[in-house]
Amino acid sequence: MGSEDATPRDDFTPHGYLDNPFQSWKLNVSGVLRSRPPAGMGWWTPNYGSYGRNQRADRAHSHVGIEARGMRMLTPSEFGATGVVVGCDLHTKHRMRYVWTHPSGVRVAVTYFLAGEDALAGQVEVMRDEAAHVQAGPVRLWLALELAHNPATSRLWEHGVYSVLPGAADPETGPAGLLGICPEGNAWAAGAAGASGTALALAEARMDHSIWAEDAADAGDPVGAQRATLLLAYDLALEDGASCMLWGVLARGVGPDQTLAAWRAGLAAAPAALARLTTEDERFWSGAPVLTGDWPGHWRRGLVTDLETLRMVARPAVGVFGRRWDGMQIQAPRVVLAETALDALALAWADPAMASELLLGCFASAPRPNAPCMREDGSYNMIADDGAICGTGPEWGWPFAVVDALWRRTGDTAGLAALYPYLAAYLDWWLAARADAAGWLVHACSWESGQDVSARFGGQRTGGSDVRHLRPVDLQAAVAQGAARLAEWGATLERPEEEIGRWRAEAKRLAERARAMWRGAWFHDFDTRAGRWSEVRDPMQLAPLACGIATLEQTAALRAAFDALPTHGGAWPALVWPPVALTAREAALAAGLDAKAGEMAAEILDRAWRRMDARELEPDGAVPGVTREFWPEGGRDTSAGIEGYGWGALTVHFLMRYVLGLRERDANSFALVPALPGAWRRPGAVFAVGPVRYGGGLVRIEYRVPAESAEHAVDVALELAGLGGHWVVEDVATGRELARGGAGADGGARVEWRGAWLAGVVVRRVT
């Protein structure tokens, strides 16, 4: 499985982000790289999103256009007049390629990528289609440098935008044009050169202050922003069927000299940078899952978008983070245990080694055992109103369940051993620092619970207000789960028996307390300030069921609750926030409601991926093509939160675990419970996914609906590469063997059988 061209090609939305690995929030605000219609890419500095969106210092975008037969296509209005739609057939964190065809038959492909921190490059390919049957004529390539600067954010002596056209005012400028903030602000340069390194013939260079004016509102520019556009035109000699390739670079610097130096360096570095980034993409996608067959297109592309967003939030070492770390989001990255855990859970389906590294880095870089929320300079990001330094609780990102899942999928005992001391110290901290006088676990503030200002905690001035009066049932259950996992891992790692016994005792004690919070039909929190059980219901209170510690009677009583789950935090639908939806899905599985878990997961995937695959900007100017913070109900008129937020890609995990039904047991076995939507089960339909990393190898799963019995039956085929041995498939309900397959000459195996939808099987390796 895998190929020489593993990176997915598809009809992606022409919107999204490129990764800027230099971006951090305290040590180096380098900015994010965000698309701009119709075919532009550029910097937004310091960021774009709900965190200080209108305090942005500047944005600078590179645009590419074509003019032929007297018709130019560069701005949104010019594209709109022709009816030509810009496509995107390649969309990774490193590369984004726009493609379109001019009505004259001239085809254009522009691949944007980062050639250096201060150089955004574009490989531009132009071809005249000899089959278009139109009269040949001159072709002009247009490059535009569009700038918007917010003077309200600067402490410099500055008053306006200056421009230097190529060769006009400064012979040192050469073929590049400049825009800058005078007299002492930043500067930006744009220009192009032929692929062979030879200069292009510059046909025209001019300033235009109004060309993008009608689209300024879509950019979300603040009031008072200064705008300017530099236009450069190059004439191309193209015969029918001929093509040419050139490099364009948009560079930036603190002044004109530094900017021109960055432009020249970017132009020289572009070919090697593109080759390196292409190799990195290929390396990732050679072992990452893609959907093939009859999946809806927005599901196929949504999976790619989510995995690429997860790659973007995995940040390179910087400051106090001595290894790769999970930045949670690309706009204002920070380390948060909950987000790190959930990002790792989803990313591990494609890159378990990176997922484990992110988890270890979160704990290893923390100066305190509770893994406080922290920036790259070591500053804390979550301090309660009473000064308590906080990190997220174990019920919000379920780190113990995540580590257990990764260990079972990979069998990486060394990785588990590296994490174990940190996880033990983390749980010890909660037992010591967050236990009330009676030994019940509490939160210092609702921020620490992850459930900011939730109605569960009563009235609060801020999310940092003291909420130690509330004993949350999900916190008791999560710590019980953590203690149970530590006992199991301790046995595997041959830790001292006294230590293992202590964790078992804590798990038993806290599980009993969580079960005792059952009040007839639901688990409830206890409010010590009011001296009574809280009446607030929340999906997070399903935690004892999700953790597998609810009694049989409690489990049976809760099954009906999944038909109408309560709101989350007193304000949100039950299934819009990733940690809450995960808790509800796991509770549904524990209740034996595999069909309900699959149905709810599919509904989330469909609305999230349909939104990410949209072709138009959202009403608030947000772009599709990137994972968002949460999955709102109510359509695109409802904000989905911050752009480029990792845990929104938990949909990857939902697809694998609840829809495809792949559930880890250990590195040599897994369960399959196929739960694809019933409406998809058309005779002859095929749904495949792979490669999925499992147990040190790669697995590909194919579900095929047989023509003669589509309602209940499903034909399943597994390809197992790099795993060796013989594999047997057994029915969970009866233990009956359904199929057996042996390793071929290449070490791979193929196993096929006829099963039934929602009927579980165990696939295991035998000697």
Output the pLDDT for position 19: 98
Is 224 in a helix, a strand, or coil? coil
pLDDT band at 223 (very low <50, low <70, confident <90, very high): confident
pLDDT in tens, 587-631: 999 999 999 999 999 999 999 999 999 999 998 889 999 999 999
What pLDDT score does 268 carry? 94
Q: Mean pLDDT score of the chain, rounded to an integer?
A: 93
pLDDT over threshold 60, residue 133: no
Separation CA 720–CA 220 (nearest Å): 49
168: buried, middle or exposed (CB in 10 Å: 19+, 13-18, 0-12)? exposed
User: Which token pair is 247?
Assistant: 């490099």
Class of domain 36-41+54-285: mainly beta
Q: What is the CATH number of domain 290-659?
A: 1.50.10.10
User: How much is the pTM?
Assistant: 0.96
Q: Is the pLDDT of residue 115 over 70?
A: yes
* 268 CB-near residues (< 8 Å, 6+ apart): none
Delimit the domains of the chain by residue range.
36-41+54-285, 290-659, 662-766
For residues 6 and 18, what is the distance between their CA atoms, to the nearest angstrom?
19
> Which pLDDT belongs to residue 698?
95
Backbone angles phi, psi at 691, to 5 degrees: -80, 145
In tens, the pLDDT along 8-60 reads 999 999 999 999 999 999 999 999 999 999 999 999 988 887 665 557 789 99
DSSP secondary structure string for all residues of 428-466: HHHHHHSB-TTS-B--SBHHHHTSTT-GGG---SSTTSB
Q: How many CB atoms lie within 10 A of CB 4?
A: 6
